Amino acid sequence: MYKSILFLIVCCFYQLTFQGLSAQQGEIEPPDTTSVRIAAELLGLSFSQDEIVQMSRGVHRQKRSYQMIRDFELQNSIRPALQFNPLPYGFNPPDDSGLNEWTIPDNINLPDNPSDIAYMSIPELASLIKNEKISSVALTKLYLNRLKTFDDSLYCVINLTEASAFEQAAKADAEIKQGIYRGILHGIPFGVKDLLSYADYPTTWGAKPYEDQVLNETASVITKLNDAGAVLLAKLSLGALAMGDVWYGGTTRNPWNTKNGSSGSSAGPAAAVSAGLVPFAIGSETLGSIVSPSTRCSVTGLRPTFGRVSKYGAMALSWSMDKLGPICRSANDCAIVLDFIRGADELDISTISAGFSLPKLASLKGLKIAYLKDLFDDDYSFSSNDQQALEIFREMGADLQAISLPDDLPVGALRIILNAEAAAAFDDLTRSDRDSLLVSQSNWSWPNSFRTSRFIPAVEYIQANRIRSVLIRQVHDLFKEFDVIITPSYGGIQLTLTNLSGHPALLLPTGFTEKGDPSSITLLGNYFDEGVICAVGQLYQEKTKLHLRRPDNFK
């Protein structure tokens, strides 16, 4: 009986919706009233028979409109006219006074062991290059060799940009010899997640249907880094269409245990930084895609405020939730990279102009720091490491105040915002049936999610965004009282909540569990307060040195 009812519902929904999805131009048959009634019931709605008869005519007209919309070709890069701005009423971003002056040490010597060079910080590498103790070309060659040598173990590289890299490195060396120095990133190699376009090179999004895609544009974040003199070495792996660590070339591996995946979706950037294959990389986060692989690979990841970094040239998954940010070995390196990639961009109208600075902290005294006590009190795999981290913050002068996140909103239900936007971003993939080319086809994978999300009503999508406005105000009210909030990286609803609100987060390695798995803790900041959480993170890392550990097989 149950199976018969389920079959009837599926058939009615197919008639009502998917006939419209696959219909060619021409007459579209109106749905019968039974289909409309069952569809309404499945969505939790109830109407009278007269209302359903009226609705059937309207649904028929709507299907015509749907078909006209589907007949208009939309590229992934075309944004909706509706724009998300996370800033609560009355909040004013800090004025932008330009780039910061970053300290470059003078007393750095070139190590004898090339592996030691590979794990040096950005300021250390900058010192070597600026003082001509190593050339950018030599550094580029060193990292390219490591990428080629270790990619067979990690599957973290989709495409090298070798020809372009040597050209950029040679240009950097020539400029430095002429006394032209662009700053701390001049001549420093880096990698990017392969959802960022780079002219003349493939941008695959980690997905088989786009394996040969070449976009005639360069992402703004790459342009900014190129303008700073940095050298792009590689397009690094991501789980297909920014989910997980499985892409069409395999599963990106964790340098600490290559039997495990590196998590995702910024799988390649995190693995490559962890293994010393690049000094830093650019990842992206929509719902944990910097936090999760940074944890798994024991690196430092910074998810900036929504709108802080331009997404022009990046694959769109969720226009109102996508964020680009640096994955590095330290909080200080993350702050440096953010300084060069941030800022308003006329090519991305969601960007917001705001200042950035890294305060110099001798201790944590005077800062208002809270922690999410109920989440830390839970029993989870690296809770002991988190408790130890809290004690270290106290030793550094922090007067930790116990707080809880708001719990009166259906935060989990608001994921339909991401699901609806993602389904729209890849509408053509679904309707063309090319989603069958994706490697992962589970109930929780994108192909099924895209299909299922076609049944999210527009009214519910709007209502979810109205609740999101309430959520933003509630989270912002917490930061009226505190400079930093410390949280378990995966605790409760915080990851979903803060990605919806657009607040920045810094993930810090905290060591390893008894099983040898890396662990992490997260610092949350107010809008555009990345400098504060990076300064706090820098103090923590100077004390613990946990970020300096190297995976054995890649030393």
Rounded CA gap, 384 and 386, in Å? 5
Best CA proximity match to 342, nearest among 357, 332, 330, 359: 357
Per-residue 3-state assignment (H helix, E strand, C coil) for 340-387: HHECCECCECCCCCCCCCCCCCCCCCCCCEEEEHHHHCCCCCCHHHHH
Structure tokens at 236: 């690094």
Where is average pLDDT lowest: 5-14, 41-50, 191-200?
5-14
Evaluate if residue 4 carries a pLDDT over 80: no
Burial degree of 83 (CB within 10 A; 0-12, 13-18, 19+): exposed
Number of neighbours of residue 390 by Cβ within 10 angstroms = 17
282 phi/psi in degrees, rounded to 5 = -105, 125
- What residues form DSSP beta bridges with 326? 282
Q: What pLDDT, in 10s, does the model give residues 288-329?
A: 999 999 999 999 999 999 999 999 999 999 999 999 999 999
Q: Which residues does 248 contact at the CB level (< 8 Å), separation at least 6?
A: 204, 206, 207, 208, 211, 240, 439
Give the per-residue pLDDT at 260. 97
Buried residues in 224-239 as b, exposed as e (16+ CB within 10 A): bbbebbbbbbbbbbbb
Does residue 507 contact residue 295 with C-beta atoms inside 8 Å? Answer: yes
Q: How far is CA 56 from CA 32, 52, 53, 67, 458, in A?
A: 7, 6, 5, 17, 18
Evaluate if residue 5 carries a pLDDT over 80: no
Give the per-residue pLDDT at 16. 47
Evaluate if residue 27 carries a pLDDT over 90: no
pLDDT band at 35 (very low <50, low <70, confident <90, very high): confident
Q: What pLDDT, in 10s, does the model give residues 395-422?
A: 999 999 999 999 899 999 999 999 999 9
Vertex 103 angle, CA 97 and 109, to 5°:
155
Structure tokens at 173: 């060396």
Rounded CA gap, 537 and 481, in Å? 20
Query: Is pLDDT larger for residue 488 or for residue 36?
Result: 488
> pTM for the whole thing?
0.92
CATH no. for 114-407+464-554: 3.90.1300.10
- pLDDT (average), residues 390-394: 98
Please state the domain extents for the chain: 1-72, 114-407+464-554
Evaluate if residue 25 carries a pLDDT over 90: no
